[in-house]
Each structure stands twice: as C-alpha cells, then as structure tokens.
Amino acid sequence: MADFQLFIDGEYVDARSGDTFATYDPGTGTKIGDVAKAGVEDAERAIAAARKAFDEGPWPKMSGKERAGYLRKVAELIGTKAEELATMEARDSGGTIKKAMFADVPGAQGAFEWFAQCAETEPDEVELPGSDFPPSQNLVRYEPHGVCTGIIPWNFPFIMAAWKFGPALAAGNTSVIKPASFTSVTALMLGQIFQEAELPPGVANVIAGPGGTAGEVLASHPMVDKTAFTGSTEVGRRIMQLASGTVKPVTLELGGKSANIVLDDADLDIAAAAVLFGTFFHNGQVCESGTRALVQRGIYDEFVGLLVERAGKLVIGNQLDYATDLGPLVSRGQVETVERYVKLGRDEVGEPVCGGEKPKVADDLDAEAFYQPTIFAGVPNSSKIAQEEIFGPVLCVIPFDTDEEAVAIANDSIYGLGGGVQSRDLERARRVADGMRTGTVWINDYHMINPQRPFGGYKQSGIGRELGVQGFNIYRQVKHIHTNPSTSRDGYVHFSALGDI
Ligand code: NAD
C-alpha cells in the first residue's frame, strides 16, 4: 500500500498497477514516502466516478446554499489541520514554513470560503427584457458544465488544488484534479478533508501521476466537459490541443515575465522591498513574479544599491525553520535550470551585481538544491534572461527614461500575467498601469492575490480568469430559455417567414 494513495469515489486507493513513486524533501534530500502512481486506467476510473456523481448523484441538484455548507466545512477543516498541512507543504515543495502558514493554508481556506459565498449569492437565473412582438419571456439560467478536470503545477500545490476544486464544486460540477509529481501530497490530503466534510462520493477526486499519461487523459477524455490547467505555457499549448478533440472549454493559467516599474518619485524604501518581495518570494518560483524591475534612470544607481544590500540579508536555510527566508528550490533540476540561465546572463550582460552561485548551507542540507538570490543590472529587454521565464531567484534590472518607454518595455514580452508600478503619484501610477497589457497590476505593492479578485493572464500567460466572480462563472454554462406565451396564432406571425404553415 502506498503511503499516499489516490482519492477516487470517496475512498483512498492504490493505483490499479500497484505502481508508486517516491517523494522527497528537497532541502535535505530525505524521502517523505511513496505516492500511488496513477496511470491511464486510474484517470479513467476517477473520471467515471465524477461522471456518475454528476449524472446520478445529488451534488448538481442541490441548491447553492447547500453546496456552500459543504465547502464552508472544508474550509473549517483546513483551518483545524493548518499546522499539519503547512508542514507537509513546506517539506514536499521546499517552500518555507512561513509561506505555508501565512499564504498557502489560509489562501486555500479563503478560496473555499469565497466560492461558498459565490454559490450562495450568485443567482442561478436572471430574467431578461422580453419582447411584445413576437411576444416572448426570456431568461438566462446558469448551470454546471458537468465533469471538470484540473491539472496543477508544483509551486503552490495546495492553493492551486483549492482554486480548481473551489469554483468547480461551488457551481455544481464534479471534479478530478491532478497535482504535479514533485508535490502531490497535500492535494491528496484534501481527500481526508472531503471525507470528513461528508462530500458525496465521486464529487471530488485527486489522482497523482505523470502528466504525459494520467494528465493527458484528464484533458482529452470525452466524458470530461471542461478542463483547467495551471503550469508552463508549453504544456498549456498541448492541453489546448488535447481539449480540442471534443471542443472542451479550457482555462489556462500559464507562465509570466512580469515587469515591476519603479518611477522616479517612488518611496525608494518601500519600492525596494516591493521589488525584492515581488521577485524572491518563494525563490521566484511564482508565475506572476516581478522578475523584470524597470527602474527610472534618475534613481537607478541608488535603487540598484538598495536591492543588492538587502538581497544579501535574506536568510537561506532549512525551509522548516521560521527564521528562513529562502529554502531550497523544488528540485535539483530546477537549480540546474537557474544555473543555465545565470551562465547565459553572464554571457549576455556580464557579472551579476549579487548572487550567481549556490550558497553555503548547513551540513544536513543538500547544497545542490539551493541558489543565491541573483540580480543582473543593465539588462537589455531583448536579452534571453529578460524574455524567458526562469522560475528561480533571478532578477533583471532594466533602466528607462520616460513613463511611455517603461510601458513599452513592460509590454515587450510574450507574457502578460502580473506587474507592478511603484510611485508616490497615484494618478501617474494609474496611467502607467492602464497602459500595461497584463492581467494584474499592483500599485505600490506586489503578490497581493485574493480569492475575491480575478486573476489570470493576457497574451501567452493564459485564457480565462480564476478567482473573483469571473472565476466562479467560468465554471457555469449559460442557457437562454425563450417562452412564447401566446395562445393564438397572432403571436406566431414570424412563422410566415417560411410560408403558409
Ligand atoms: P508543467 O507545465 O511542467 O506541469 C504542470 C502540470 O502539468 C503538472 O501536473 C504536470 O504533471 C502536468 N503535465 C505535464 N505534461 C502534461 C501533458 N502532456 N498533459 C497533461 N498534463 C501534463 O509546470 P510546472 O513545472 O509544474 O510549473 C511551473 C510552471 O507553471 C511555470 O511556467 C509557471 O509560470 C506556471 N504557473 C502558472 C501559474 C498561473 O497562475 N499562471 C501559477 C503557478 C505556476
């Protein structure tokens, strides 16, 4: 029996093949346990359970208020297990315990609460203006899609699972989610929470396993009505292809290379903190990280000095220690990707102004899994390190002269996910924010994602929105019902458009 089993049809089960894969704490390299490895057959089993729960079970027929009751219970149970969940999230992903306690667990809890509220307050039916001639009464009815699948990445596994399950279930759908193989455990732990909240079997299923097999089934299976994916732009393109076979609606949350614009009237103390927080939080393994800092030339040298001084103070170490600011990256492979980009940066723009190496860490840690916060200054926006998503602790600082130039540089990217503007002049900051082609802009702030506010990307950063009312409605189909109330042929003169019938 695997230490962490699949959650299908309300029960924990092994993969049909009996296969497992090991999951590790990347900080120490110690094994956490064996995870059941779902194959095609297990993915199909989970989809069949969700299908049955949708077609024959009570979930889609319940009122929004009833479903909200279950989701509030899920949120409450997450709260009671906060420490256990946060510790496992930190061990399995390498994210710090601070991040897990202050962002991951409350973020997931807040998402379930918000979507419970949407289920209660968003109307199921809206009456439209009718017409007198030909007479009609018209209404729009919102209905669940059916079976919704979700495929999620390794950087925020627990929150991402909540962002997929929360709106899908609140809107009356049933669901199957697949977390990334590096970080499957906390999403699988949700199964126990769903059992304790007494969700009907099959409503919410979690399978762990490889994207290329189990994941492809979730995105392509004819019994699935909608699919949502968070991950790299490259795999996002593949998901669109897979979903196109049965014309499934897709929601995609993909990569980014977001610009954080520092105007010359910014409070430099706050702006420097916003740039460092925006880049190095979770080692830059955040899709909307502000990895391009665009800094106005008049303050450029002073500002770069502040960034370097403060980046050097970040504490690197064991992610389970509350004093740690930066833990390991998710894997040695991710460190190798960062090293490749830092080498490229050295070739393209020269020595970084700080970092650029693996740090020295305590003997009980895996030194190959850590990387120093690294800053390249004077980076041309056309360089590869400014254009490609690194997904590690690497910041590119880019100088500019005018506000218009800053907007043009910010928009010169295939991505458009996050972004920031740092300025004391809020009108000026708004003009800059309005010009940015991106899904979220934080003025004098960064990373402030909230379940009540929509989140998603322009351009190759994605399709659709998660969170907010928009993120709820994307999980509902729209049906228009037209009723002709006439009882005499006078109300049907339009039939004569065909002939005398
Ligand atoms: P990834 O694209 O490699 O994998 C994401 C998920 O897709 C995993 O569960 C994986 O198993 C699965 N997968 C891989 N190939 C598949 C296939 N052919 N069919 C179906 N599923 C498949 O991404 P990652 O490395 O886990 O995460 C990092 C990426 O995610 C970065 O690009 C980051 O920007 C992005 N991301 C975006 C957001 C957002 O909201 N926009 C949030 C977090 C992460």
Instruction: Using the mean position of ligand 1's atoms as its centre, give its distance from the Cα of residue 230 in Å.
Output: 5
Sort 243 into a burial class: Cβ within 10 Å, 0-12 / 13-18 / 19+. buried
Between the CA of 126 and the centroid of ligand 1 the distance, in Å, is 37
**Closest CA to ligand 1's atom 15:** 211
Model pLDDT, residue 244: 98
21, 155, 163, 390: residue to mutate for ligand 1 pocket, most atoms within 8 A of CB:
155
| d(C-alpha 371, C-alpha 441), whole Å | 28
Q: Are 454 and 408 in contact (CB under 8 A)?
A: no
pLDDT digits (tens, 9 = 90+) for 231-290: 999 999 999 999 999 999 999 999 999 999 999 999 999 999 999 999 999 999 999 999
Q: Pairing mode, if any, of strands 125-132 and 135-144?
A: antiparallel
Q: What is the Cα–Cα distance from 58 to 69, expressed in whole angstroms?
A: 14
Q: Is position 143 annotated as part of the catalytic site?
A: no
pLDDT computed for residue 409 by the predictor: 98
Q: Does residue 138 contact residue 193 with C-beta atoms inside 8 Å?
A: no
Phi, psi angles (nearest 5°) of residue 76: -65, -40
Predicted TM-score (pTM) of the model is 0.97
d(CA 346, CA 158) in angstroms, rounded, equals 36
pLDDT number for residue 430: 98
Residue 174 contacts residue 206 (beta carbons within 8 Å): no
Q: How far apart, in whole angstroms, are the C-alpha atoms of residue 188 and residue 150?
A: 14
Q: Which helix (H) or strand (E) holds 400?
A: strand 394-400
Q: How far is CA 119 from CA 28, 76, 235, 358, 413, in A?
A: 43, 17, 31, 48, 37
Q: Which atom of ligand 1 is nearest to the CA of 218?
A: 20
> Domain 6-254+461-480 belongs to what topology?
Aldehyde Dehydrogenase; Chain A, domain 1 (3.40.605)
The pick from 282, 287, 330, 474 for probing ligand 1's pocket by mutation, whose C-beta has the most ligand atoms within 8 angstroms, reads 287
Ligand 1-lining residues (CB < 6 angstroms): 151-155, 178, 180-181, 211-212, 215-216, 219, 230-232, 235, 238, 253-256, 287, 389, 391, 417, 457, 462
Give the helix, strand, coil percentages of the chain, each rounded to 5. 45, 20, 35
Q: Which atom of ligand 1 is nearest to the CA of 210?
A: 11
Report the distance separating Cα 259 and Cα 291, nearest Å.
7
Tell me which architecture the domain covering 259-443 has in CATH: 3-Layer(aba) Sandwich (3.40)
Q: Whose CA is nearest to atom 31 of ligand 1?
A: 232
Ligand 1 centre to CA of 183 (Å) is 12
Instruction: Examine the residue annotation and report whether 354 is marked as an active-site residue of this protein.
Output: no
Tokens of 151: 């495929």
Alpha carbons 112 and 170: distance in angstroms, whole number: 9
Distance separating alpha carbons of residues 45 and 73, to the nearest angstrom: 27
Residue ID of nearest Cα to ligand 1 atom 22: 211
Q: Ligand 1 pocket test: which of 177, 230, 251, 455 has the largest number of ligand atoms within 8 Å of its C-beta?
A: 230
- Cβ proximity of 148 and 90 under 8 Å: no
Q: Given this model, what pLDDT does residue 294 score? A: 98
Gap from CA of 394 to ligand 1 centroid (Å): 20
Enclosing H/E stretch for 13: strand 11-13
Name residues whose C-beta falls within 8 Å of residue 241's C-beta, 6 or more positions apart in sequence. Answer: none
Residue (of 421, 460, 430) closest to 259 by Cα position: 421
CA distance 238 to 223: 19
Contacts of 143 (CB under 8 A, 6+ apart): 124, 172, 476, 477, 479
Task: Report helix, strand or coil for 301.
Answer: helix
Catalytic residue among 89, 118, 148, 287: 287
**Of the residues 151, 238, 252, 335, which should be mutated to test ligand 1's pocket, given the most ligand atoms within 8 Å of the CB?**
151
Distance 307 CA to ligand 1 centre (A): 30
pLDDT at residue 76, as a whole number: 98
Ligand 1 centroid – CA 180 distance (Å) = 7
SS3 106: helix
**What residue segments make up the domains of the chain, in order of their start?**
6-254+461-480, 259-443
Please state, in angstroms and rounded to a whole number, the distance separating the CA atoms of residues 311 and 349: 20
> Which residue out of 89, 113, 253, 288 is catalytically annotated?
253
Over the stretch 313-344, which tens digit does the pLDDT of each residue have?
A: 999 999 999 999 999 999 999 999 999 999 99
DSSP characters over 157-182: HHHHHHHHHHHHHHTT-EEEEE--GG
Per-residue model confidence as pLDDT tens for the chain (501 residues): 999 999 999 999 999 999 999 999 999 999 999 999 999 999 999 999 999 999 999 999 999 999 999 999 999 999 999 999 999 999 999 999 999 999 999 999 999 999 999 999 999 999 999 999 899 999 999 999 999 999 999 999 999 999 999 999 999 999 999 999 999 999 999 999 999 999 999 999 999 999 999 999 999 999 999 999 999 999 999 999 999 999 999 999 999 999 999 999 999 999 999 999 999 999 999 999 999 999 999 999 999 999 999 999 999 999 999 999 999 999 999 999 999 999 999 999 999 999 999 999 999 999 999 999 999 999 999 999 999 999 999 999 999 999 999 999 999 999 999 999 999 999 999 999 999 999 999 999 999 999 999 999 999 999 999 999 999 999 999 999 999 999 999 999 999 999 999
Per-position DSSP letters for 470-482, written without gaps between them: HHHHTTEEEEEEE
Interval between CA 192 and ligand 1 midpoint (Å): 25
Q: Are 94 and 26 in contact (CB under 8 A)?
A: yes
